[in-house]
Each structure stands twice: as C-alpha cells, then as structure tokens.
Amino acid sequence: MSTMFSGTRRRFVQYSTLLGAGAASLLKSGDLKASIFDAKEAAGLGEPWPQMQYRTLGRTGHKASRLIFGCGATLSRERHDDLLHAAFDAGVNTFDVGFKHYYNDAEKNLAPFLQQKRNDIFLISKAYVPVDIDWDETITAEQARQAAKGWVAYLDESLREMGIEHVDAYYFMAANNVSVVSNEELHRAFEDAKAAGKVDFLGLSTHQNAQNVLRAAIDSKAFDLAMLAITPGGWYDWEDKSVMPDSPPMTGLRPLLDEARAAGIGLVGMKAGRFLAGRRFFGWGNPEAFDKYYSKKLMQANFSEFQRSYAYVLENGLDVVNADMQTLLHLKENFTAAATAEDYSTLA
C-alpha cells in the first residue's frame, strides 16, 4: 500500500512540475514546442543526454567539448544562467562570447556564470580589428599601429565587462582582410597582452574571404584558433547569406583544413546550418540543401536538418562547432548532434 502511494505521489509531483514548468516557459518564450520540452526535462521525463565527446584544440592543448556554447546572441539582451549551467552540467566546457559593440550586454550577462565556473571552462571572446579598409586592400603601417591599440583596448574592455583579469583566447572578429591577419604589428600587440597575463591564445573568426584568411593564418604561424563559417556545401558567405557559389563542397576543403590543423590551429565551425534556415522573414528556407552530401546512415538518423549539418561538418574536418542556443530544446538538439557526430564517421 505504501509503495503504491509513493508511486502515485511521485507521478503527481512529476505532472505538477511538468505543468508548472511548461506554463512558465511558455510565458517567457512563447514557443509551445520548447515549452513542452522544458516541462518534460524539469519533470525528469525527458530522454537522457548523450555523453559529450572532446577534441584537443590545436596547440592550445585544451580538450574542448565538441559543442561550444555561443553566448553572444543568447546573452545580448538578458541573462540565461539556466542554459549556461545546463550546458556545463551536461559536459560543455568551452564558452564563446564577444565585445559589447556588437553583442550588446553579452559579456556583462555572462559575468555571474563566470563568477562560479571561470576556473572550470575555456573562455573565448572577440572584437573587430578597428581599421577602415575593404577586404582586398592593404593595411598601412600607421593604420596597423592604431588598429593594434584599438584591438587591445577592446580586450581590456571585455575583461572589465566580464569582471575578470584573463581570457583564454581572444579573436580578430570577422576577419576578412589577409593583410590584417598577417600584420606583425597586430601580432606584437597580442604578444604584449599575453605577456601582461590578459590572454593566452590568439584566434580569428571569419565568414568572408575565408579560404584566403585561413591560408594567411597558417602562413603567419601566429594563430592558435580559427572559427570558420563553413557548411557541408562549402564556405558560407555572411554578406550574401548563402553558400559561396564558387566554393567546393566541404570534402574539397578538407586538405586546407587538415593543413591548418597540422600547423597547430584548432578548428571551430560556425554557421553550419544557417543557410538551411534561409531568410525566414520571407517565409522560406533551404532544409534539403545539403542532403546530397550525407550518407544513408546520417539521413536515417533521428536528426533535424540542422543536427545533420553539425554532425557532418564535425566528421569532415572540424574539431568543434560553435552554436547559439536560445532554449533548452535548442541546446539539447545541438548537444546531441555534437556528442554523437562520431557515430556518423563513415560519411562520404
């Protein structure tokens, strides 16, 4: 009798939690599917999370979770400690954010989480190199001196925003100019910041002219990390919101990616599934755009088109992927794709 009562009471508590959590989530997000998912997770009725996998990021030596939590968009307007802690508790140990002149309050909203977990995670932030030149122009010596001062000032500002004294890596954000990437004045500015204990590793992010930028990073021997806008179909161009028409598919880019890794550069993917979403304000997307690249095994997986794109790029040249997660549902989907990507290592 007592066992029956205990079971009934447990179910009552679960259902009460489900209803309460679901209602609260719906009021906050307005997303019914995400709210139902949140409710099940809170009530302990969700599917178990897979075990996260890890890869060493080049010469940083850091064994990073294959999913990096991209904090910029998620935290730009408000805190999401619930998502940050859920990701950390599940095994995500690498977090990426960016300076306030693009990501608003993201660094500031990350600070409370950092107060608790800073020593347990690898932290990346980034800022533009402040120089007003086009992607195909050459930076002058004077421009480089001013840009170096400006970039280091952004680093100092990021540290203040997050309430910390040191970040593990800091990027040249949205790098598209080869002469900037190769510039020794900027490299020296980083080395000075490193000597001052502000940062350990230099990286870049790029989603325009990416192939030439990555080549320049390899040749410079200055970069430890590169975050690339890349899809199963090839380079993603942020300006056009499309896959570059003259890009080979990702398998054709593999030799360059392998060369970068051999040079000690840890490779981070971004925008792997962005093209699939299309321009949603026009009401359309491209959900089947990359299906032709996938193996039968991946196509039969219980994955969304976005999960397939993440799994594919991870098993075709990248160490990890950086993804923006706005809900617990979104986090778990991306987490699952990254954690189980190696199950699809037979991809063509």
* Domain ranges across the chain: 1-46, 51-344
Predicted confidence (pLDDT) per residue in 62-120, tens digit: 999 999 999 999 999 999 999 999 999 999 999 999 999 999 999 999 999 999 999 99
Predicted confidence (pLDDT) per residue in 203-212, tens digit: 999 999 999 9
Element (H, E) at 97: none
Q: Which long-range contacts (CB under 8 A, 24 or more apart) does 242-246 make?
A: 242/275, 243/275, 243/289
Tell me what pLDDT residue 64 has. 98
Q: Is 198 in contact with 165 (CB distance < 8 Å)?
A: yes
Q: Is 238 in contact with 271 (CB distance < 8 Å)?
A: yes
Tell me what pLDDT residue 6 has. 52
Token pair for residue 26? 């719906």
CATH number (3.40.47.10, 3.40.109.10, 3.20.20.100, 3.90.550.10) of 51-344 reads: 3.20.20.100
Tell me what pLDDT residue 215 has. 98
Token pair for residue 42? 């809170």
Mean pLDDT by 10 residues, the chain (348 residues): 51 44 49 55 69 98 98 97 97 98 98 98 98 97 98 98 98 98 98 98 97 98 98 94 94 97 98 82 75 94 95 97 94 97 74
Predicted confidence (pLDDT) per residue in 166-180, tens digit: 999 999 999 999 999
- Give the Cα separation of 199 and 155 in Å (integer): 9
